Amino acid sequence: MTTSTKLSKAGKKAVNWDEIRRRLESTRTLLEQDHSIAPHEARRILRERAHVLAREDEPAATKDGLEVLEFHLAHESYGIESAHVREVYPLKDYTSLPGTPPFVLGIINVRGRIVSVLDLKKFFDLPQKGITESNKVIILSNGAMEFGILADTVSGTLTVSPDGLQTTLPTLKGVRAEYLKGVTPERMVVLDGSRLLADPKLVIAGAADR
């Protein structure tokens, strides 16, 4: 057992930095071979990749809490389980799709992958704020389905107690209540990522072929 994989004093598995460095070096080689990517963009991709790899090497949930990614929509705080988050990507530009529901913002190109992006503010009937430089796309995936959700801002990951989640709230009605996993004492609305990814209403047919 190497130093990077030994158990910590708390009994949790440490981050395997040797494996992360190996995978980052592989990513760096691929980026260097792609001359269409500017150096500053390559550095940004490597930083984000390092964050994702470190999170993948840690348990998303423990007996003491559930790891969620916190983000904001229309001045409200939301969260979604980190286990469903593939990556967070800046919204630089997107292509609208005619003939799609109003909550479909469009599609983006994520390093060669075409990903559809949903505007949850429109889907949940929340006040609109407009697109700014702060907007991020949270890409969700369960292996079979993948799409992005538009966030006004992303705060980062935190751990919440499953026992402290309130599963119903009078102010949360309609479509938001359908995807509710729970509400924290701080009034952060934790969405059910598995239910979002499994809902056929959110599947944008043909987006991946465009």
Asked whether residue 94 carries a pLDDT value surpassing 60, the answer given is: yes
* CATH architecture type of domain 61-209: Beta Barrel (2.40)
Q: Cα-atom radius of gyration of the chain, to the nearest Å?
A: 18
| Cα atoms in the 13 Å half-sphere on the side-chain side of 168 | 1
- Nearest by Cα to 172 from 189, 150, 151: 189
pLDDT digits (tens, 9 = 90+) for 160-206: 998 888 876 655 555 567 888 889 999 899 999 999 999 888 876 54
**In angstroms, rounded to a whole number, what is the distance separating the alpha carbons of residues 179 and 62?**
22
CA pseudo-torsion sign 191, 195, 197, 200:
negative
Share of the chain above pLDDT 70, in %: 62
What is the per-residue pLDDT for 88? Answer: 96
For the cut 60, the answer to whether the pLDDT of residue 24 exceeds it is yes
pLDDT at 7 over 80: no
Q: How confident is the model at residue 95 (pLDDT cuts 50, 70, 90)?
A: very high
> Hey, is 13 helix, strand or coil?
strand
Residue 139 above 90 pLDDT? yes
Task: Identify which of 101, 179, 171, 95 has the alpha carbon closest to the alpha carbon of residue 140.
Answer: 179
Question: What pLDDT shows up at residue 143?
Answer: 87
The DSSP bridge pattern shows strands 146-151 and 113-118 to be: parallel
Closest residue by Cα to residue 74 from 130, 137, 147: 130
What's the mean pLDDT when you consider all of the chain? 77
Assign 3-class secondary structure to 153-199.
EEEEEEEECHHHCECCCCCCCCHHHHCEEEECCCCCEEECHHHHHHC
The residues with which 88 forms a beta bridge, in sequence order, are: 138
Domain ranges for the chain, please list them: 14-56, 61-209
| pTM (2 d.p.) | 0.67
Quick check: 11 pLDDT over 70? no
